[in-house]
Amino acid sequence: MPRFYPHPIIAREGWPFILAGLFFSIVFTCWLEWWSLPFWLFTLFAVQFFRDPSRPIPQDPDAVLCPADGRIVVVERTIDPYRNTEALKISVFMNVFNVHSQRSPIDGTVTRVEYNKGKFLNAALDKASTENERNAVFATTRTGRELTFVQVAGLVARRILCYVDSGQRVVRGERYGFIRFGSRVDVYLPTDAVAQVSIGDKVQASSTILARLPLKAAVQNDEPQTIRPAATTAPAAGLTEHAARANAPQNEQQIIEEAAEKVRAAAEREAPQE
């Protein structure tokens, strides 16, 4: 496979289906005439399903591009089940009328590829992310940010194709996989990513910006804070004031007693001698 898939309008995965449909359509037309119409319809369906048009590719350094055509069905904070970390999850659901080639959402390096067998539930369901057949690609951007994008098989999808492997470098818009006949793609991003799409939005592979991801993670200051001793004057003043307030009743009582003593002494002096 070329380093950067040249987008041949019709994906190479579809040529066996298209040629087979065309062959049987011609043969049955010769034998059955109008009864061959279902074969022609299948051939037309295969042509539209396996189309693989070229798309404009935004080059914003912090942009995470949409890996597939379809409709946004999930935008939420959750746990990335592959890295076991908190993440922003964005899911794209593809019906049978969408383009089904997957393209790299970032410039970076594939660190691991993990395939999991599973069921073939409706890909629009949330549980399809963890129960269906799926293929997870772990990748790291050029600035070291980690993300996971997962191909998930759907109700009629029976084949997930992935063309990248561990250690391989990818560029945004590069075609890395294909899913036949209905599916979804889940993207797990760091929690500081900001989604640029909402549930229900129709998106296109490579040309739609899925989220904005800062080039570097925010630095957390884990240094212990130094506790500085407070100035001595303020506490001293505070203590003096507090002591004064505490001793105020005692001082007033003493003044009253002294005044009373003076009054008694004066009264005794002025009293007549017997």
Mean pLDDT in the chain?
A: 79
Residue 220 has pLDDT above 80, yes or no: no
Do residue 64 and residue 45 come from a single domain?
Answer: no
**pLDDT score of 239 more than 80:** no
Residue 36 and residue 172 in one domain:
no
Q: Residue 49 has what pLDDT? A: 78
Residue 161 in domain = yes
Do 114 and 38 share a domain, yes or no?
no
Task: Encode pLDDT of 20-45 as tens digits.
Answer: 888 988 888 888 778 888 888 888 88
Residues 70 and 176 in one domain: yes
Instruction: Give the residue carrying structure tokens 């992935």.
Output: 162
Same domain, 167 and 44: no
Total domains in the fold of the chain: 2
pLDDT band at 71; cut points 50, 70, 90: very high
Do residue 99 and residue 191 come from a single domain?
yes
Record the pTM: 0.72
Q: Are residues 64 and 170 in the same domain?
A: yes
- Does residue 55 fall inside a structural domain? no
Within this chain, do residues 44 and 65 fall inside the same structural domain, yes or no?
no
Q: Can you give the pLDDT at residue 147?
A: 94
**Does the pLDDT at position 249 exceed 50?**
no
**Structural domain contains residue 11:** yes
Output the 3-class SS for the chain.
Answer: CCCCCCCCEECHHHHHHHHHHHHHHHHHHHHHHHHHHHHHHHHHHHHHHCEECCCCCCCCCCEEECCCCEEEEEEEEEEECCCCEEEEEEEEEECCCCCCEEECCCCEEEEEEEEECCECCCCCCCCHHHHECEEEEEEEECCCCEEEEEEEECCCCCCEEECCCCCCEECCCCEEEEECCCEEEEEEECCCCEECCCCCCEECCCCCEEEECCCCCCCCCCCCCCCCCCCCHHHHHHHHHHHHHHHHHHHHHHHHHHHHHHHHHHHHHHCCCC
Mean pLDDT of all residues in 55-83:
93
Mean pLDDT computed over 104-122: 88
Show the domain range for 183.
Answer: 60-120+130-212
For residues 21 and 70, state if they share a domain.
no
The model's pLDDT over 43-54, given as tens digits with 9 standing for 90+, comes to 888 887 788 888
Check 183, 198, 206, 207 and give the catalytic one: 183
pLDDT over 70 at 228, yes or no: no
Say how many residues make up the chain: 274
Is 5's pLDDT higher than 60?
A: no
Does residue 241 sit within a domain? no
Check if 101 is active-site. Answer: no
If asked whether residues 143 and 88 sit together in one domain, one would say: yes
Q: Which residue has the higher pLDDT, 233 or 102?
A: 102
Query: What would the two tokens of residue 125 be?
Result: 């369901």
Where residue 189 sits, what CATH number does that domain have?
2.70.70.10
- For the cut 70, the answer to whether the pLDDT of residue 229 exceeds it is no
Quote the pLDDT of residue 120: 72
**39 exposure class (CB count in 10 Å sphere: 0-12, 13-18, 19+):** buried
Tens digits of per-residue pLDDT, 172-218?
988 898 887 668 899 999 999 999 999 999 999 999 999 999 988 87
